[in-house]
Amino acid sequence: MNHMKILATLVFSSLTSVAFANDLSGTWKNIDDKTGSSKAILEIRQENNGSFTAKVVKVTPRPGYTPKEICVKCPAPYTNQPILGMDVLKGLKHAGNSTYTGGKIIDPLTGNIYSMKAKLSANGKRLTLRGYVGVSALGRSQTWIRND
């Protein structure tokens, strides 16, 4: 009987860690692939349909840079909307293991919208996003680090 309890505990704890490892919900600090510095803190939430959405909850100040407050060059419905509080990532869905696909992400500094996919690290602390137009090989990657 004692062996059954131990086995049940091991199975439950492994399932719990897998569920946590595939849960993107929480706050994340993005790391710019060009500068290596953080631009913002984003909050990822899971929608009722199972997809993930991320909004900007804090713009990170950087030396020598005055952050934009409004998405000027962005297409509708983002045009002239405040960047703080904006949903910049939408529709990202878990595709199996620690991969996610089907999302769209907007760069509020340029107004460009990209298709995207992502991969969560094994420990659930790093999310590598790949934004692209057309073919993934021609895109850019960015790392987000779990902030909570």
High-pLDDT (> 70) share of the chain, %: 83
Paired tokens of 63: 């030396």
For 57-70, write each residue's pLDDT tens digit. 999 877 766 778 89
Domains along the chain with CATH numbers: 24-146 (2.40.128.520)
Q: Which residues pair with 148 in a beta bridge?
A: none
Are the C-beta atoms of 98 and 21 separated by less than 8 Å?
A: yes
Most confident of 4-8, 117-121, 137-141: 117-121
- pLDDT surpassing 80 at residue 1: no
Residue 127 CB burial class (10 angstroms; 0-12, 13-18, ≥19): buried
Average pLDDT, integer, range 108-134: 94
For 16-39, write each residue's pLDDT tens digit. 333 444 689 999 999 877 788 888
User: pTM for the full model?
Assistant: 0.80
Average pLDDT, integer, range 123-147: 92
Q: Which residue has the tokens 């107004």?
A: 111
Task: Fill in the DSSP letter of residue 122.
Answer: T
